[in-house]
Amino acid sequence: MRRGLAVAVAVLLAPAWPGAARASVSVTVDRVGVATGLGKRFAVRSTVVNAGPGEARGLVAHLNVASLRPGVYVDPEDWSTSRTRYLDPIPAGGTATVRWSLQAVNAGSFAVYIAVLPADAAGRPPTVGRTVRVTVAERRTLDAGGILPLALGVPIVLGLAAGGLALRRGRLGSSA
């Protein structure tokens, strides 16, 4: 009897709690695939839908990037400088749209996903939208082999010039 009463009270109060809204929040994205080139910018738009009966408050949306292939180090901060957004309260049945700007800083295949979690998220799983698969075409931006002639050539030329001047000075000094 007491247990039944407690459940009834919890059900009645649930919509007022941000945590309760979690179960009724969903995330959608405007695309599931992006093909781009190294260094190019692109955007993903996500929509957080509150399908619950109460206002969803204290929601935090977070963008993440992961490489789908091993051996590629990904620093998500390099991909997007603003990866965490604190959402305004979403009324019952309402939506909140967030535009995420990204720059493809690595070549390869990557997954971009957006998770939404309540501010009091301890112990609760986040709500995650569909994965956006990002394929970044390789583009050669740095010729590592070419640095050696430059790194040696410039000091050699300047060193020879400085040495030549010193030699000339020495000769002039000795002839005087």
Q: Which H/E stretch holds residue 15?
A: none
State whether the Cα torsion 80-84-88-92 is positive or negative.
Answer: positive
Which residues within the stretch 12-31 sit at the binding site for another protein (CB under 8 A)? none
Q: Which of 9, 32, 165, 171 binds another protein (CB under 8 A)?
A: 165
Which residues within the stretch 50-69 sit at the binding site for another protein (CB under 8 A)? none
Nearest to another protein of 70, 143 (CB atom): 143
Q: How far is the CB of 97 from another protein (least distance, A)?
A: 25
Q: Which of 159, 173, 174, 175 binds another protein (CB under 8 A)?
A: 159
Q: Quote the tokens at residue 19.
A: 């945590």
Q: Which of 146, 174, 175, 176 binds another protein (CB under 8 A)?
A: 146
Q: Which of 53, 91, 93, 155 binds another protein (CB under 8 A)?
A: 155
Interacting span for another protein (CB under 8 A) from 22-30, 110-118, 122-130, 148-156: 148-156
State whether the Cα torsion 53-54-55-59 is positive or negative.
Answer: negative
Q: Quote the tokens at residue 145.
A: 């082999």
CA dihedral 47, 52, 56, 59 (to 10 degrees): -50
> Among all chains, which residue has been given the structure tokens 């977070």?
62
Q: Quote the tokens at residue 7.
A: 């459940």
Q: Which of 11, 43, 151, 171 binds another protein (CB under 8 A)?
A: 151
Which residues within the stretch 78-137 sit at the binding site for another protein (CB under 8 A)? 78, 103-106
Q: Which of 1, 5, 122, 148 binds another protein (CB under 8 A)?
A: 148
Burial of 163: CB neighbours in 10 Å, binned 0-12, 13-18, 19+: exposed
Burial of 38: CB neighbours in 10 Å, binned 0-12, 13-18, 19+: middle
Instruction: Give the binding site for another protein (CB under 8 A).
Output: 38-39, 73, 75, 78, 103-106, 139-144, 146-148, 150-152, 154-155, 158-159, 161-162, 165-166, 169
